[in-house]
Chain A
């Protein structure tokens, strides 16, 4: 199973860059790395997804080293509204299920942004 490990919590201040690192030592060759954001009483929201090197979109960047055993979500200039739980996921590809996966969520990282 491609289990992920993230810090339980992080604190930051408005305007700072936040980097959240996720470890996934057993990532499979074809697996992608996906990050979600969740606010209280809402469903997780897709942030970014990548396979290797670097991916950037309008809200975040994702850095993946060559060995792909970890990844770092980078949030530039965070604001109070970025206070949320961030989940790192790696697809679990099971041969028994015919290649279909079930997403395994870890505990996530609780990010608190302070004024």
Chain B
């Protein structure tokens, strides 16, 4: 069974640009969550999608958005990029919405660097 796939693995952008990251969950998984990981802040929850609906959202500005498609694939978008957005963006999938009781399976992330 293929794991969570994130594309691209690496991305370099400049300030003010926007970026779209993609995540394909494990087959059969309907919930997708996104996290941002930086050396200073650690792993922080961005948002979670289930059945094409955002179910939960972390404390990030509106520049961070996402969506989920009918096949459970998900994308996240960051507009007006700032230097502080440089991070590893991780996607995780689970069968049902993350309840703390459902192990999440993570991809290896997209490393985004802002110049």
Give me the interface of A with B, judged by CB distance under 8 Å: 30-32, 34, 36, 41-46, 49, 87, 89-94, 97-108
Kindly specify which of B62-70, B76-84, B107-115 makes contact with the partner chain.
B107-115
Q: Would you give 6 A-B contacts (Cβ < 8 Å), ordered by A? A: A92-B100, A98-B55, A101-B99, A102-B48, A103-B100, A108-B42
Assess whether B109 is in contact with A42, with CB atoms less than 8 Å apart. yes
Which B residues have a C-beta under 8 Å from some C-beta of A? 4, 33, 35, 42-45, 48, 50, 55-56, 58, 88, 90-92, 97-101, 103-109, 111
Residue of B nearest to A90 (CB): B100
Give the docked Cα–Cα distance between A42 and B109 (Å).
Answer: 7
Most chain B Cβ neighbours within 10 Å, of A34, A44, A49, A102: A102
Q: How far, in whole Å, are A49 and B102 apart by their CA atoms in the complex?
A: 9
A91 and B58 in contact, given A46-B104, A102-B45 (Cβ under 8 angstroms): no
Closest CB of chain A to B76's CB: distance in Å?
15
Q: Which of A36, A41, A46 contacts B88 (CB 8 A)?
A: A41
Chain B residues lying within 8 Å of A97, measured Cβ to Cβ, are 55-56
Residues of B within 8 A of A92 (CB): 100
A89 vs B50: C-alpha distance in the bound complex, in angstroms? 21
Nearest first, the 6 closest Cβ-Cβ pairs linking A and B are A91-B100, A43-B106, A105-B43, A46-B103, A100-B97, A102-B45
Quick check: B33 and A91 within 8 Å, CB to CB? Answer: no
List residues of chain B with CB within 8 A of the CB of A31. 100-101
